[in-house]
């Protein structure tokens, strides 16, 4: 697996942020190909990018002659191709818990507050910036209340979402916390999430993946 990895990314995309964390945890080098999601109507809509991903979404990972789309699929590909250190635990019930936590973010929270949804709320439904921010805070808050309950006092919760090793769940949770803070969600009701966030961001792999540390950061 000597081919260089290329990641089509946008600095503030939480889905791309997930993959950056996973790549860093694996110790994998990669080249960033910035795709600006806002400038000039969004570079994700250009024919050149649509050739890489007909969905017009980041991230996209290119490995040799193969192109991979969707952050969760990319993270599992990385875990299967470079199994150490693992993003998924070795025990089936622990893997199921990690996937449930990860999907609570990727399938339930994130789709309701990503860029194209907010643009539709603005352009088609006429919601102003305050109303869009209230929408985002509501759905992140709903999701975080559930995740907090899944984490707090659970015997499998350790330094991280599952035990004392970062997993797929942490890869998904930390970018969503970034979005929550960006939209000024009060994080006080979610102390376990905040504690895990602090543990993660103290690690170089997470710190290097932060949006503000990306080459295309505005």
Q: Within this chain, do residues 53 and 122 fall inside the same structural domain, yes or no?
A: no
Calpha distance 34→54 (Å, rounded): 17
Among 5-14, 35-44, 108-117, the range scoring the smallest mean pLDDT is 35-44
Average pLDDT over residues 111-122: 95
Q: C-alpha 123: how far from its chain's center?
A: 25
> Computed over its alpha carbons, how large is the radius of gyration of the chain?
17
Calpha distance 158→196 (Å, rounded): 9
CATH number, domain containing residue 44: 3.40.30.10
Q: Within this chain, do residues 137 and 162 fall inside the same structural domain, yes or no?
A: yes
More confidently predicted of 91 and 153:
91
Q: What is the pLDDT of residue 1?
A: 47
The 10s digit of each residue's pLDDT in 162-209 is 999 999 999 999 999 999 999 999 999 999 999 999 999 999 999 999
Task: Name the domain count of the chain.
Answer: 2
Calpha distance 19→60 (Å, rounded): 9
Q: What is the pLDDT of residue 3?
A: 84
Average pLDDT over residues 42-50: 91
CATH number, domain containing residue 134: 1.20.1050.10
Helix axes 71-81, 14-26, angle to 10 degrees: 10
Instruction: Report if residue 215 sits inside a domain.
Output: no
Q: What is the pLDDT of residue 2?
A: 63
Q: Within this chain, do residues 54 and 22 fall inside the same structural domain, yes or no?
A: yes
- Residue 150 lies in domain: 92-207
Domain boundary among 85, 108, 139: 85
Q: Within this chain, do residues 57 and 116 fall inside the same structural domain, yes or no?
A: no
Q: Within this chain, do residues 106 and 179 fall inside the same structural domain, yes or no?
A: yes
Q: Within this chain, do residues 34 and 121 fall inside the same structural domain, yes or no?
A: no
Closest CA to 101 of 155, 160, 153: 160
């Amino acid at each position: 697996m000597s081919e260089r990895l290329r990641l089509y990314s946008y600095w503030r995309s939480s889905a791309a942020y997930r993959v950056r964390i996973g790549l860093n945890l694996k110790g994998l080098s990669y080249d960033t190909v910035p795709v600006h999601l806002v400038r000039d109507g969004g570079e994700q809509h250009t024919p050149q990018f649509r050739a890489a991903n007909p969905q017009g979404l980041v991230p996209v990972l290119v490995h040799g002659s193969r192109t991979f789309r969707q952050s969760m699929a990319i993270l599992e590909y990385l875990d299967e191709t470079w199994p150490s250190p693992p993003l998924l635990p070795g025990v089936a019930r622990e893997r199921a818990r990690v996937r449930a936590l990860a999907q609570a973010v990727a399938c339930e929270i994130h789709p309701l507050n990503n860029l194209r949804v907010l643009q539709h709320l603005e352009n088609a439904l006429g919601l102003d910036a305050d109303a869009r921010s209230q929408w985002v805070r509501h759905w992140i808050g709903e999701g975080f209340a559930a995740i907090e309950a899944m984490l707090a006092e659970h015997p499998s919760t350790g330094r991280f979402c599952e035990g004392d090793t970062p997993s797929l769940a942490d890869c998904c949770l930390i970018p969503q916390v970034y979005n929550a803070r960006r939209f000024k969600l009060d994080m006080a009701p979610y102390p376990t999430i905040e504690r895990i966030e602090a543990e993660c961001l103290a690690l170089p792999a997470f710190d290097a993946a932060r949006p503000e540390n990306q080459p295309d950061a505005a």
